[in-house]
Structure 1
Amino acid sequence: MTLLSTLIRRDFLKVGAGTAVGLAIPRPGTARTPTAGGPEGKAKSVILVNLTGGPSHIDSLDMKPDAPAEVRGEFRPIATAVPGVRICEHLPQLSVRMKRWALVRSLSHGENGHLPGTHRLLTGATMPNQRGTDLDNVLSRRDWPCYGAALNALRPRRDGIPNGVTLPHALIEGPLTWPGQHGGFLGPGHDPMLVTQDPNSATFRMDDFSLPSGTDPARVEQRRDLLERLGSGGAGDPAFREHQRHAFELLASGRVAGAFQLDREPVKVRDRYGRNPFGQSLLLARRLVQAGVPIVQANMGIVQSWDTHVDNWGRLKTRLLPWLDQALAALADELEAVGLWDQTFVAVLGEFGRTPKVSTLPGETIPGRDHWAHVYSGLFAGGGVVGGRVIGKSDKGGAVPVSTSYTPFDVGATIYQAFGVDPETEIRDAQNRPSRVCSGTPMDVLFRNT
């Protein structure tokens, strides 16, 4: 079966490159595409670095060295390039680059569950209560659309470049796809492009984005013209014809295909990011931004990687924090070097933080921390963000905010505003029912030098 014939099937599609890569390409839905309002945003792209599972703020970005041992944990704080600001000893590269980042220590919301918390993070909206038994299904079309899906409805493209890409995999546990990762009520036609393999794999390839060897591009173009003429007469399913058009656009656009060719990067560059899934995923994110992709969601770790109920400090110091530290340093350095820093808004956070008090689960011997959404931390940079600052404050035990707090809804509103999309912009579901794209308030404090 040729790539072209594969692409025009009617359901979610997988385009593989041997065993290396799978790519889910959605078919169009029935949502309207209203025009976005609001001021023109500075960012051309957003990279959402999703620390799936929820990292411990007390053991990373908001340490409490003067708290009792059962709160402060095992790590020591170190100084950063910003006077008076200290972070975890296992984030040394971030510490010397803190002048680029705004550290928010008063993120907060009221949902301690992974599924509803993740939905809030990835959509800027509350997970619908009517989801019910859909939690047992692969996905729910009652969910709110993720940022890439909503942007695709608001600003559809015709250049073969997807509005959203999720990598290096979806968040899936058995039959359950975590909520908020797709087009939700906008329909599958707005689902982001999904990469389903590890960019760190030696066999990672996207060769199937190009035409098979020996294929005459002129003949393909003739077939495209023929299909368009047939479609103009009203024959066939409009959604299916739109899917065919999308398939041809992907074939015609070499920019996205080129972004996936990580083997073209110099060895030193790949090493700089780290030869691990975190590092190579953020390298791929940078390449996709260079190719013009507006929204890249990079899932740092498999489902619940940062969910450190057990062996919190061992997991953080041996893998999670060092991998993230190296990858973020390389990403920031390179975005600035290629002139994309001011055009790319970067947000680094999980769905919540971890409990201030250390605990040991029944049957376990190595302690950890449980879920804690009352206060947690996140990093923001690029796209006009004023770096070198700490915004917000938690109490002395890292349990609650003692200053203005910000919710995942506010993070979502900030992402939309970065593109010049007013959070009050209307989107409509398949039944033509209107909804505000996001209920939060943009975090303007990130962009003010105060």
Structure 2
Amino acid sequence: MSERVMPGHTDGLITLGAADALWVDLTTDSAVPTASGAFTSSPAQARMGYVLLGGHAVATVRAGDGRWSVSEGEVRRAAAALNAVGMDRQDLVRIGPFRGAPRQECDEEAPLRWRRRITGELGGPERAARREVGRPYHLAGIDWRQILVEQTRDGTHRTWWLPRAVVRLLDAAEHAETQARDAGDRQTTNPEGPTATPRPYNKELEGQLYSVLSRKPGTSRRVAGWACAVCRGAPATVLDHCHEHGYVRAPLCQSCNTLERPDHLYSNDIRVANRYTRLFHTDTDDWLRHWHRCPGCRARTTLPLPHLAAWTAHIACRSLRPTHRAPRGRKPCGVLRVSWTGSQNAPRSGLLTVAVDCCPSGEHRVLAQVPYREAAERFRIWLAETAPALAAAAGPDPLDGLPAQSRPVIADTSGEGLALF
């Protein structure tokens, strides 16, 4: 028999079974699907002193009879926070598998590490067999299977994707768990919960080289203490840096770190995803400021080659892109691709070629060929019009201490499209 929640006792302690029922009841209409057994099914472990619900760590309390309980008010607060999350099922983030990533089985008492858990759950036949028997499995109370998107490339290589809103929730849950474990107090009933608020990033790492900083002990823990420098809401999980000049930009959450990457990156060309609409339109100021945290890009008033190529296709060549009829007017045709020859270190040799893939009038239709120097000059003019404060801070004045030559862009050899970013 399932346990019932007694109304009116929102500040008291309830059993885990009652908390399971309450969580499902409160989140029935949430855009993010939730799972039953959030407190009693793996990977939830009440004896660890907390249970993860969305981005919150809810403290657990052991009664005299040995049973574990939680604060009903905390469950309600976590549910209200989850219900406030909007989710775009088309805005997806790739979560795996990634070549070279260690395969690790996560036992029930291991940290959340939700990407590894999903990869392990989906990666092998023994896991598939376990799924067939209906074993309950959730992550921070979220039913990730309902929203997991599987894609195949060439009919062989599988990749898994989740909506960006859910990725941010799970990253926040991972951060909350880290703070709860570090606190060492597993039995607190503090209404605010055991999590700590990440502090804003205030240029503490500006001008430092990633190759040096990444080798320092404690860097990962230090990064986790900051809020993401772009969205300013989610906790930071990675230290983003400019691969062209080698400088640290800022701590970012995993979602923002993937947002700046194109759909696919090849040895000398990229596919310009629709997400660049956000980077170069609605969130332009945030992203330009982030990219110009690199002293090399700021001094030269430009962007790293892949980003400059994407900007050239998306902004400078926007009027050249063909359109076709759609139910609500006309829509841009195909998918933009930009390839380059030469090097950004030898501007006279650089040439960007903007083309459209999958265009009804012919695949790989070339729209324009733009010399690198012309693309860089167009970007400087656009920057001055779009973000005058950033343009005023850029230029040759900050060249003190900058290497005479920036590192050349190298081909991506990982197969995962991350090398240039």
TM-score, normalization by structure 1: 0.28
Which is higher, the Rg of structure 1 or of structure 2? Answer: 2
Q: Which has the higher strand share?
A: 2
TM-score, normalization by structure 2: 0.29
